[in-house]
Amino acid sequence: MVLPLIRSEDYDAERLWKRFIAAWTRSDAIFDIVGSEGMHAQPIVWRHPFIFYVGHLPAFSWNQICGGILEWKSFHPDFDDLFCRGIDPDVDTGECHWHPEAPEAWPTLAETVEYRDKVRDAILKSLEALPYSGSHGVMARGGRVFDMVLEHEYMHQETLLYMMQQLPMDRKRRPKNLSSLQFHSAAKRRAIRIPAGKARMGADFKVAPFGWDNEFGESLVDVPAFTIDSVPITNSEFLEFVTCGAYDDGRYWRAEDWRWKTLEGKQYPAFWFKQGEKWLYRGMFDTMPLSRAGSWPVYVSLAEARAYATWRGKRLLTEAQFHRAAFYGPDGKESMYPWGESSPSRWHGNFDFSAWSPLPVGSNPAGDSRWGVSELLGNGWELTDTPFAPFPGFTPYMKTYPDYSKDFFDGKHFVLKGASWATATELLRASFRNWYQAHYPYVFAKFRCVSD
């Protein structure tokens, strides 16, 4: 007999229903950018074609909720397996680990959408059917599994968009009612001294309503004093690094980064391109002279950011320094967000699709940290030079997804913090950690320099 869930105070089926409908509406709008004719496009070799993600989002939801916890009988087990998980690429070796093997031909869009819609109906029914007992009780309590599925959808919305960024403009449809692009001057860069002090890393599982396994456990660490750029590096500043010849000078690159750059023939960031002697910027829906987007943050790989920082005689943030700069202030007190305790809004930063593009750096001074550091949340993920690794006390507690993080504790992946313009507000908590390989160049990821 399936026992009803003993509802926690924060479990609200009606609110969850609204969140799922909103998430699916946004996902559908993103898929509409490429339309049915673009579903088999694969703009990044390290990612499946878009049709995979149409099936992956519902398959993950089914496998975690309906199959994993409720143990309902599947109406399409083949799709549950085919779309269960994507690719684990190794961009250095060129190897891809497929979960499972990619088929010779993907299912049709009609078949995949039919599966998606059946799963969505089942998810809405599951909101009142979640069991309390059994081996997956931790994920069931308080509706934690619903948060996991929703956040998985939010993260893949961003994945889809940085894939679409690499498509030619004539293969994308511009959504209606997009705000106008902004090109005003960047905020003036300042060097801000952060004194030595504490920083909280991770979160307490007993307190957090939800967190991915890599967010736990919690500890306070000592962070030595450091000096940090008040704003991220812009396209114009990085262009100087390229045009002066330093980008092609091996002295500024780590050996493994230089090997990657040489093998790939990299001459500039993935969001740029050249026509003759003209430098151009590939936006989501517009191509423009790079000079026009000069005040926007430059989106680069960790390897490119490291080289730039070395050229300037500096280095990149560590994860602990990010926490110290973002969530503490001169009074020594910790805050929920860089600006304080108030809930995130469009005035605090460029996140949650408020602009659908980067903004000139420093455009949201209301979101500055109490030290005066800008854009620690929003306008691009913040690259750090900290390898993605478990915190003390790490436990892969998600029984239906035990390999979520531990497969990537390999020394090749590095932590990103903060958020981009395509990051949902729900992911703005201090403990949330993103991660990518140092040589993966497609992410909406910015950086700034620090020194001791």
Domains of the chain as residue ranges with CATH: 13-171 (1.20.120.450), 191-233+310-451 (3.90.1580.10), 235-297 (no CATH)
Residue 3: the pLDDT is 30
The answer on pLDDT for 5 being more than 50 is no
Residue 218 phi/psi, 5-degree rounding, is -115, 140
DSSP letters, 226-269, are EEEESSPPBHHHHHHHHHTTGGG-GGGS-HHHHHHHHHHT--S-
Residue 101 near residue 88 (C-beta atoms within 8 A): no
Residue 346 near residue 354 (C-beta atoms within 8 A): yes
The answer on pLDDT for 6 being more than 70 is no
For the stretch 97-108, pLDDT in tens is: 555 567 889 999
Amino acid at site 165: Q
Report residue 46 as tokens: 């390290």
Residue 90: the pLDDT is 67
For the stretch 176-207, pLDDT in tens is: 888 899 999 999 999 999 999 999 999 999 99
Residue 96: the pLDDT is 53
The answer on pLDDT for 88 being more than 70 is no
The answer on pLDDT for 13 being more than 90 is no
The answer on pLDDT for 11 being more than 70 is no
Residue 433 phi/psi, 5-degree rounding, is -125, 130
Residue 136: the pLDDT is 56
pTM above 0.85, yes or no: yes
E-only strand ranges, 296-379: 315-316
Q: Which pLDDT band holds residue 411 (cuts at 50, 70, 90)?
A: very high
Peptide bond into 392 cis (omega under 30): no
For the stretch 201-236, pLDDT in tens is: 999 999 999 999 999 999 999 999 999 999 999 999
Q: In which element (H, E) is residue 78 found?
A: helix 77-82
Report residue 233 as tokens: 């590096």
Q: Which pLDDT band holds residue 89 (cuts at 50, 70, 90)?
A: low
Residue 8: the pLDDT is 42
The answer on pLDDT for 9 being more than 70 is no
Residue 448: the pLDDT is 98
For the stretch 108-144, pLDDT in tens is: 999 999 999 999 999 999 998 876 544 557 898 888 9
For the stretch 304-359, pLDDT in tens is: 999 999 999 999 999 999 999 999 999 999 999 999 999 999 999 999 999 999 99
Q: Which pLDDT band holds residue 94 (cuts at 50, 70, 90)?
A: low
The distance of Cα 62 from the centroid of its chain, to the nearest Å, equals 23
Short-list 343, 335, 420, CA closest to 376: 420
Region 162-177 average pLDDT? 95
